[in-house]
Amino acid sequence: MHNLNNPITYINGISVQRATLLYTELGIKTCRDLLHFFPFRYIDKTQFYQINQLQPSNAEVQIVGKITHIKSVAQQKGSRLVATFQDATGTMELVWFKGQKWIANALKINEPYVIYGKLNHFNGSFSMPHPEMQLVTEYQKKLQSAMQPVYASTEKLASAGISNKLIRTYIESLFKQFYDGIEETLSHEILKEQQLISKKEALLNVHFPKSQEALAKGQYRLKFEELFFIQLQLVRKNLLHKTRIKGIVFKSVGDNFNNFYKYHLPFQLTGAQKRVLKEIRKDVASGIHMNRLLQGDVGSGKTIVALLSMLLAIDNGFQAALMAPTEILATQHFNAIATMLKDMPITVDLLTGSTKTKKRRTIHEALENGSLHILIGTHALLEEKVQFYNLGLAIVDEQHRFGVAQRAKLWMKSPSPTLPKGKGVSTENNNIINSTTKLKSLPLGSPETSGGGEAQLENTLPLGGKGWAPPPHILVMTATPIPRTLAMSLYGDLDISVIDELPPGRKEIKTVHRFDSQRLSVLKFMRDEIAKGRQIYVVYPLIEESEVLDYKDLMDGFESISREFPMPKYQISIVHGKMTAEKKEFEMQRFVKGETHIMVATTVIEVGVNVPNASVMIVESAERFGLSQLHQLRGRVGRGAEQSYCILMTSAKLSDEAKTRVKTMVETTDGFKIAEVDLKLRGPGNLMGTQQSGVLNLKIADLIKDGEILHLARKTAIKLLEQDPNMQQESNERIKKAFNEMTKTAKVWSRIS
């Protein structure tokens, strides 16, 4: 029996040279790769026509008949070969302009052929130029189906003679040689419960379908399997997390939390914020290690939830850290949190790239002796010198901006397994170190069967720092709404919380679309808003390939705005990528303090500028922005009590996709609805910036269209692991084998933990 992991040169007809091309162009290296290289469309040859049924409108048709006569016909340039083709109902002509001599020798008179091609209709009769032809005897022998698969290709492959027909031939040979080597990967129970066909049958149906129905059954089975194994990996990782890594127990809700909640809370919490806080409190008190994703739209109040979670850690004798992707955002978090805690006995500090050396020393010292309770900062928190006395909670904001290795560094920050002593601290915490050390002695199955996959899975679990310090609880926050299907695939190993309502008193931002020809009325509106004491953002797009163009656009815009809003009556700030950090900060601060009326900028201000008095966001060339970017920009206004506006300026010529984006922005402010539209427009890889990373490299499933299958696959994976966490039951043997095979080579499907 042939092994599917063999290189494709094992397949009849594939030379080393062709194998190299197939690998460099399509990534096909092994027989298994070729087996899972699926067609992207099909030519439907399920219907045979008779000649008397042909219509001038028939595009491509298939007919069975015989050649009765062949002749060469002279024409203006050269000649053409013409064959008379006949069936029981009539005759037509087959025509060739190239390769005539070779074709004339190969054609057999009065032998039945299956022909397929495009019809031409002239003077009441039909002809078919360069038809695809097969003798009926050959046609019957072949695996080839009535619906013909079309595979993705490249120019290099085509010029090397590797045509679609040749790829089909290779796959046909593969089936003939390796059919017995295709193993079932799902259990009898799942196949029966989900009414799925076998793996062999599914693969055959997808490559060589006999009908639309057979194809649908094959695709469904393979989509389910692909999504099932991804979910199995993610759900299992979550369970491993919960069962193998005990978390620090925050047993008490102490004075800091209660006093802040009663006396210093700046506003009433929404129902959604209370629900999320409850979920976090349950996690940190349960003895499991919290690994939670907090999704909340721009302005939904994630910071207050983060602060209350940090107070829980402090009440239990632990420190907390909050890491943000930019200095602006970190500073904003620091200012907001320090202001809210100013009347409380809690120390908060800020550490960024521009923190001076003397100040850094003070921070390092206070962190290590435990007198600093909360540290907020940027990537600077990841520096080796930064060590905590006992970090109990690590919060990462806008987590997708950090690499996996960077995030992992954050939970290695307690230098020793020192646990807090004193009021309200549970003795349960003393068991953590033991449980974490024992982690390695809990394999999935026996060492022989568990393969490399499980070890790889365990290596990604946070085990604390030197000397097995307990890992801090993890809360990751994002203001980029993620559609449910994508969240289940990218973050399926995390527990997900969603803040889905805005704080009371927030007015919905009014969004309008204006063409460049309507600029005068927009300028008048800007003057009126400034007269009311408001401030305005004007944002220009950033095309990374063309810094010169961006700069020119921005400077042209700045000049025309300066003409319309002359000094000294109006003051204008400008921020762009070519400025130094100090200059940017200076201009930002002028705007924040209300010294300037208008902020002209590139997308630097997309994340994290909070100016409650800014009530108008004007986006120039809005058609050049993605939906999520537009949504983030709009979130910079609407932070005060006044009515805010977002004006999308575009040229008159818009592509269909740009029209959809603008229309979506005008119609809704719901980040999740916007994310769903964005997913449909851009696809999952682009949406999460995962195109390059190989994550979500799905072979057959489609997250946009196959949401229902995904839900079913996740439910099935959860049920299986609840009943048999280690997949040790005989009935799950196939699944375990396939799972270990996959996790040995595949990346662990987690982007966070």
Whose structure tokens read 């990218």?
Answer: 490
C-alpha distances (whole Å) from 46 to each of 137, 148, 341, 522, 557 are 18, 9, 73, 59, 60
Q: Are residues 491 and 519 in the same domain?
A: no
- pLDDT tens track for 592-624: 889 999 999 876 564 456 788 899 999 999 998
Q: What is the mean pLDDT of residues 410-432?
A: 49
Whose structure tokens read 């790889």?
Answer: 456
- Examine residue 14 and state whether it is found in any structural domain, yes or no: no
Q: Are 243 and 725 in contact (CB under 8 A)?
A: yes
The strand pairing partners of 42, in sequence order, are 149
Q: Are 572 and 565 in contact (CB under 8 A)?
A: yes
Residue 411 has pLDDT above 60, yes or no: yes
The strand pairing partners of 496, in sequence order, are 293
Tell which of 123, 144, 165 closes a domain: 144
Residue 561 has pLDDT above 60, yes or no: yes
Q: Are residues 517 and 614 in the same domain?
A: yes
Q: Are 604 and 576 in contact (CB under 8 A)?
A: yes
The highest-confidence range among 1-5, 38-42, 626-630, by mean pLDDT, is 38-42
Sorted by sequence, the CB contacts under 8 Å of residue 246 that are 6+ apart come out as: 287, 288, 289, 431, 432, 435, 436, 470
Banded model confidence at residue 552, pLDDT cuts 50, 70, 90: low
Q: Are residues 628 and 658 in the same domain?
A: yes
Tell which of 117, 144, 171 closes a domain: 144
The pair of three-digit structure tokens given for residue 60, joined into one six-digit string: 């491509």
Please say whether the dihedral angle defined by the alpha carbons of residues 137, 142, 146 and 151, taken in this order, is positive or negative. Answer: negative
Average pLDDT, the chain: 82
State how many domains the chain has.
3
CA 533, CA 613: separation in Å to the nearest integer? 8
- pLDDT tens track for 480-507: 777 766 776 667 667 888 887 777 767 8
CA 352, CA 379: separation in Å to the nearest integer? 7
CA 335, CA 370: separation in Å to the nearest integer? 22
- Examine residue 9 and state whether it is found in any structural domain, yes or no: no
Residue 101 belongs to domain with CATH number: 2.40.50.140
Residue 59 has pLDDT above 70, yes or no: no
Comparing C-alpha atoms, which of 330, 544, 400 is closest to residue 321? 330
Residue 360 belongs to domain with CATH number: 3.40.50.300
Q: Are residues 611 and 650 in the same domain?
A: yes
Q: Are residues 598 and 529 in the same domain?
A: yes
- pLDDT tens track for 109-168: 999 999 999 888 888 889 999 999 999 988 887 765 568 889 998 988 988 889 988 999
Domain that holds residue 113: 46-144
- Examine residue 734 and state whether it is found in any structural domain, yes or no: no
Region for 523 from its dihedrals, namely left if φ exceeds 0, alpha if ψ lies in -120 to 50, beta otherwise = alpha
Sorted by sequence, the CB contacts under 8 Å of residue 687 that are 6+ apart come out as: 486, 628, 675, 678, 679
- Examine residue 375 and state whether it is found in any structural domain, yes or no: yes
Residue 268 has pLDDT above 70, yes or no: yes
Q: Are 648 and 630 in contact (CB under 8 A)?
A: yes
Residue 458 has pLDDT above 80, yes or no: no
Name the strands in the sheet holding 614-619, side by side, starting at the edge strand that comes first in the sequence: 510-515, 645-650, 614-619, 535-539, 598-601, 572-575
Q: Are residues 489 and 633 in the same domain?
A: no
Q: What is the mean pLDDT of residues 195-216?
A: 91
Q: Are residues 282 and 412 in the same domain?
A: yes
The residue ranking higher by pLDDT, 311 or 325, is 311
Q: Are residues 492 and 638 in the same domain?
A: no
- Which DSSP letter does residue 391 get? E
Whose structure tokens read 């900028």?
Answer: 601
Helix (H/G/I), strand (E/B), else coil: 17? helix
Residue 196 has pLDDT above 90, yes or no: yes
Residue 567 has pLDDT above 70, yes or no: yes
Comparing C-alpha atoms, which of 385, 411, 412, 384 is closest to residue 396? 411
- Examine residue 187 and state whether it is found in any structural domain, yes or no: no
Omega before residue 568 within 30° of 0, cis: yes
Cα dihedral 143→145→150→155 (10° resolution): 40
Q: Are residues 336 and 466 in the same domain?
A: yes
- Examine residue 230 and state whether it is found in any structural domain, yes or no: no
Instruction: Please tell me the predicted confidence (pLDDT) of residue 650.
Output: 93
Tell which of 651, 668, 685 closes a domain: 668
Q: Are residues 378 and 281 in the same domain?
A: yes
CA 36, CA 4: separation in Å to the nearest integer? 11
Residue 396: Cβ-neighbour burial (10 angstroms; 0-12, 13-18, 19+) = buried
The strand pairing partners of 84, in sequence order, are 69, 93
18 membership: H or E segment, kind and range = helix 16-26
- Examine residue 748 and state whether it is found in any structural domain, yes or no: no
Instruction: Please tell me the predicted confidence (pLDDT) of residue 298.
Output: 72
Q: Are 720 and 732 in contact (CB under 8 A)?
A: yes
Q: Are residues 474 and 520 in the same domain?
A: no
Instruction: Please tell me the predicted confidence (pLDDT) of residue 401.
Output: 57
Q: Are residues 449 and 540 in the same domain?
A: no
CA 671, CA 661: separation in Å to the nearest integer? 13
- pLDDT tens track for 691-734: 333 345 678 887 777 878 988 999 999 999 989 988 999 999 99
CA 569, CA 583: separation in Å to the nearest integer? 23
- Examine residue 95 and state whether it is found in any structural domain, yes or no: yes
Instruction: Please tell me the predicted confidence (pLDDT) of residue 102.
Output: 92
C-alpha distances (whole Å) from 37 to each of 42, 151, 206, 637 are 14, 8, 10, 48
Instruction: Please tell me the predicted confidence (pLDDT) of residue 437.
Output: 32
Banded model confidence at residue 91, pLDDT cuts 50, 70, 90: very high
